[in-house]
Amino acid sequence: MRARVIALNATLAIFGLIIVLPFFWMILSAFKSNAEIVGFDQSFWPREWTLQNFMSIQTKLDFFRLFANSVLLSVTITALSVYTSLVGGFVFAKYRFRGRGVLFAVILSTMMITWAVVIIPRYTMFRAAGLTDNYASIIIPAVISAFGIFMMRQSMDAVPDEILEAARIDGASEWFIFHRIVAPMSVNAISALSIFVFLWVWEDYLWPYLMISSEELQVLAVGLTTFNGQYSTDYGGLFAATTLAIVPVMIVYIVFQRRFIAGAASAALKG
C-alpha cells in the first residue's frame, strides 16, 4: 500500500515537473545574458543575473504600453460582455415568448462556426466602415457572446420563478428584479464567465493584428510576434517578453485558482 502511494504520487510529481519546469526555465533564462543563453555550457540557474533583457525590450517596443492596452481591452470587454450575457441569459431563462426556443438554438449553433469563415468578410466590413486602428473594432464583435448567453441562461434557469413572481407582486420593476435579485444569484456563473472572457481577449491574436496598426494601440499578443519578427535572434529579449506575457496571468491564476477550476468544471457539467 505504501509503495503504491509513493508510486502514484511520484508519477503525479513527474508530470507536475513537466508542466512547471518550462515556466521556470523561461523565467530564469529571462535573467541571463544573450551570451550565456546561446553559450555551450548550459545551466538552469543564471550564472550572472541581469535585467538587461527587460530594459532592452522596453526600448525596442513599448511593452508596458502593450501590457496596459491588453489589460484595458480585456477588462472593458469582459465587463461589457458579461453584462450583456447576463441580460441575454435572464431574458432567455425567465421570459416566455414566441420563437424563444428557435432563437436560442440558433445562438447555440453559432458556437460551432469557425473563425475562418467570418473573419475575411468582417475584416472587409470593418475596413469599409473605417473602424480600423480603433478599439471599437475589437470591442464590437466581442460584446455579445453566444457562449456567455448560454452559460448565463443555464445558471438563471436554476432561479425559481416563484421568487420573481413574489417580487412582481410586491411591485418590483423588471429592472430591479434583474439587477437586485437574479443577477446576484448568479455570482458563480459571473465569475466563471469573466475568467473565460478575460483569457480569450487576453490571448486573442489575429483580430487585433488585423485591426490595429499603430504601435500605441497594439496588444501584448501581437507585440510578442512583432518583436520576434524584428529581433528574432534576441533570445534573451524573447524570454523576457514571453515572461511578461505569462507571469501576470499566472499570478492572477494562482490567487484565484479555485474560481478558475470551479468555473471550467461547472461550464462543462451544465453543457
Site string for another protein, 70-109 (x = CB under 8 A): --------------x--xx--x---xxxxxxxxx--xx--
Alpha carbon separation from 271 to 108, 147, 155, 194, 260 (Å, rounded) = 11, 10, 11, 17, 17
Span near another protein by CB under 8 A; candidates 2-10, 45-53, 60-68, 186-194: 2-10
Contact 238, 229 (CB under 8 A): no
Which region, judged by CB under 8 A, interacts with another protein, from 49-57, 58-66, 139-147, 186-194? Answer: 139-147
Pick the binder of another protein from 77, 138, 149, 183 (CB under 8 A).
149
Cβ closer to another protein: 117 or 184? 117
> Does residue number 253 form part of the binding site for another protein (CB under 8 A)?
yes
Q: Does position 110 bind another protein by CB under 8 A?
A: yes
State the Cα–Cα distance between residues 220 and 235, nearest whole angstrom.
18
For residues 58 and 228, which CB has a smaller minimum distance to another protein in the complex? 228
Least distance (Å) between residue 89 CB and another protein = 10
Stretch binding another protein (CB under 8 A), from 34-42, 54-62, 130-138, 186-194: 34-42
Contact string 157-196 vs another protein (x = CB under 8 A): ----x---x--x----xxx--x----------------x-
